[in-house]
Amino acid sequence: MAEIALAFFVANEVDAIEIPHVLYGEWHDEHRLRRSVPKVQQFVEEVVPQYSPSDFKSHFRLSRGHVEDVMTTIGPFYWNRQHSKVPLQNSVLACLWTLSNQESYRGVADRFNITKSTVCLHLHEFCSLVTTYLSHHISWPTGQALHNSELGFRAAGFPNTVCAVDGCHIPIVKPHCENPVAYINRKQFYSVVLTGFCDSKRRFCHVNVGHPGSWHDARAFRLSAVGRLLDEDPQSLVPEGMHIIGDSAYPLLPQLMRPYRDNGHLTARQRRFNQKLNVARVVIEHTFGLLKTKFRRLKCLYMKNIANISTAVTACCILHNMCLEEGEAIEVDEQVEAADNRAPHPQNQDAVLHRNQICDLF
């Protein structure tokens, strides 16, 4: 019996002392391996320089020359929040790669030999600098730019047009805000509304980002800078006799043309008017398609702060215009959203008269 009791005591001592040490050793080894995840070494220094010009633009969306311009512009204001001593070139390329792909932050961090938190912080800083110091790449068409845009829309069949407007939903995760439910759109996912204006060359003329996904396009438009100016001083944006074109989600104004509502009794001219307007207006849908094709992070932004979301989307619109300046042909993502026609708009008699005069030309 004494031998059995001794054996039992020894077994208890092993359970109490040795086994925890064994388990700790296994946990420590696993934890150490996780902390020393292998990174891609010298990716920016050795791999990127070997890219051909087309490969470089395929990965980073901008040419090497435009990336140099970006670094020259934001370099004096660059602030390394983490004091991680990440070179400006590495930071800019990592941010462009992040916006251009749907690769996880972990994958981007491994590729550029940095941490996930560094990727996040540098991305927010990069987007903020782009929207602050490169915003001149988005400008309202005037002078020769206005003339060129009008010629493009005229060739598409709808003359005297300044630009086209539409709304686009940018999917996001549940945001951190007072009323996150407001960001659930009618398709039951979280989003923010991007109200975009573009010329006939698919270049953004103005963007407004950040309104909740549950908002109607007309409401987001009304609260944009362009919407307010059309109400207060329309001549400052749209010359006499010219107009912006939009779909039936927008109000009919003397400076904003929308299709006739199809009640089953449209005349032949009214149907031709609608057809020509819709053909010309599709350029804004193509612009959104180009934007999401180039900057695929916008297919779902894993950000929860609305201010950061708005800044990131605006930065992508600026970079989109910079891409077009290089004259690059880009494949269009044809997935466009149908117009939301739920809210009727009150009749503006001056606008009705102006639309009828245009209709009579067809």
pLDDT of 79 over the 90 cut = no
Q: How confident is the model at residue 263 (pLDDT cuts 50, 70, 90)?
A: confident
Instruction: Note the pLDDT tens digit of each residue in 280-321.
Output: 999 999 999 999 999 999 999 999 999 999 999 999 999 999
Q: How confident is the model at residue 7 (pLDDT cuts 50, 70, 90)?
A: very low
- Structure confidence at residue 82 (pLDDT): 52
- Mean pLDDT across the chain, nearest whole number? 84
Q: Please tell me the distance from the alpha carbon of residue 324 to that of residue 322, in angstroms, as a whole number.
A: 5
**Tokens describing residue 359:** 């209709």
Mean pLDDT of 271-277: 94
Sequence letter at residue 352: V
Residue 280 CB contacts under 8 Å (≥ 6 apart), including other chains: 153, 156, 157, 158, 161, 164, 245
Domain boundaries, the chain: 43-135, 139-324+347-361
| Lowest mean pLDDT, pick from 21-30, 131-140, 198-207 | 21-30
Tell me whether strands 204-212 and 191-198 are parallel, antiparallel or unpaired. antiparallel
Instruction: Note the pLDDT tens digit of each residue in 92-137.
Output: 999 999 999 999 999 999 999 999 989 999 999 999 999 999 999 9
- Structure confidence at residue 84 (pLDDT): 65
Sequence letter at residue 350: D
Sequence letter at residue 113: N
First to last CA, the chain: 110
Q: How confident is the model at residue 359 (pLDDT cuts 50, 70, 90)?
A: confident
pLDDT of 1 over the 50 cut = no
| Lowest mean pLDDT, pick from 5-19, 44-58, 86-100, 330-344 | 5-19
| Lowest mean pLDDT, pick from 8-12, 38-42, 154-158, 216-220 | 8-12
Highest average pLDDT, of 24-28, 38-42, 306-310, comes from 306-310
The answer to whether 218 and 253 are in contact (CB under 8 A) is no
Tell me whether strands 243-245 and 204-212 are parallel, antiparallel or unpaired. unpaired
Q: What is the pTM of this model?
A: 0.84
The answer to whether 194 and 207 are in contact (CB under 8 A) is yes
Q: Please tell me the distance from the alpha carbon of residue 195 to that of residue 247, in angstroms, as a whole number.
A: 13
Q: How confident is the model at residue 355 (pLDDT cuts 50, 70, 90)?
A: confident
- Maximal C-alpha separation, the chain: 112
Instruction: Note the pLDDT tens digit of each residue in 214-246.
Output: 999 999 999 999 999 999 999 999 999 999 999
Q: How confident is the model at residue 24 (pLDDT cuts 50, 70, 90)?
A: very low
Instruction: Note the pLDDT tens digit of each residue in 316-349.
Output: 999 999 999 876 554 544 444 444 444 445 567 7
Share of the chain above pLDDT 90, in %: 70
The answer to whether 327 and 345 are in contact (CB under 8 A) is no
| Strand-pair partners of 209 | 194
- Structure confidence at residue 315 (pLDDT): 98
| Lowest mean pLDDT, pick from 68-82, 96-110, 160-174, 207-221 | 68-82
Mean pLDDT of 203-207: 97
Residue 295 CB contacts under 8 Å (≥ 6 apart), including other chains: 61, 99, 100, 316, 319, 320
Sequence letter at residue 95: C
